[in-house]
Amino acid sequence: MAEIEIRAAHTREADELTAIAIRSKAHWGYADELLELWTDDLTVDPAQCDDQSIWLVTVDGVIAGFGEIECHGETARLDDLWIDPPFMKMGLGRMLLEHLLGVADSHGCTRAEFEAEPHAVGFYEHMGARIVGEYVSTSVPGRVLPIMRIEIPSTTISTDGI
């Protein structure tokens, strides 16, 4: 049985996390030109790893994905949730999202909001999120991303032992 761990990211892992975000985005079949256009948005700044807002999931010691959540009052902002394609469909996205929501809950947040990758809307809806608006892309003309919200008390599980 694989050993799965969720832990805070370390500064030295930023480049690896960036590579996972790019591979995960590429998994959806986006053209190379779009991926290059999004490189800055997908790049993890090492400084982001210092404040324990980025959490990663490992499988047998290998980083399989990561997510970032920031708390602002009652609303948390989910900035990233990426699973490396070889690790997709293993339940890691669910585990990581539940952990991130648990972190937000521990900081007093009651909901999380985020712009969703259109290909991941079904996953987020399955997790209890709903579309509450739209974000018009400033980098890709005509691209509209759904803004989603998930209520934390309805989805949070204990993060003890993770």
Structure tokens at 108: 């007093």
Q: Where are the domains of the chain?
A: 4-151
pLDDT at 51: 77
Reported as a single tens digit per residue, the pLDDT across 70-88 is 998 999 999 999 999 999 9
Q: What is the mean pLDDT of residues 147-151?
A: 97
Q: Look at 5 and 49; give whichever has higher pLDDT.
A: 5
Structure tokens at 128: 């209890």
pLDDT at 138: 82
The C-alpha atoms of residue 89 and residue 86 are separated, in whole angstroms, by 9
Angle ∠(22,6,160) on CA atoms, nearest 5: 150
Reported as a single tens digit per residue, the pLDDT across 99-124 is 999 999 999 999 999 999 999 999 99
Reported as a single tens digit per residue, the pLDDT across 7-54 is 999 999 999 999 999 999 999 999 999 999 999 999 999 988 877 889
Burial of 161 (0-12, 13-18, 19+ CB in 10 A): exposed
pLDDT at 137: 85
Mean pLDDT of the chain: 91
- Determine the topology of domain 4-151 in CATH: Aminopeptidase (3.40.630)
Residue 158 has pLDDT above 80, yes or no: no
pTM check: above 0.85: yes
Q: What b/e readout covers 46-82, taking b as 16+ CB neighbours within 10 angstroms?
A: eebbeeebbbbbbbeeebbbbbbbbbeeeebbbbbbb
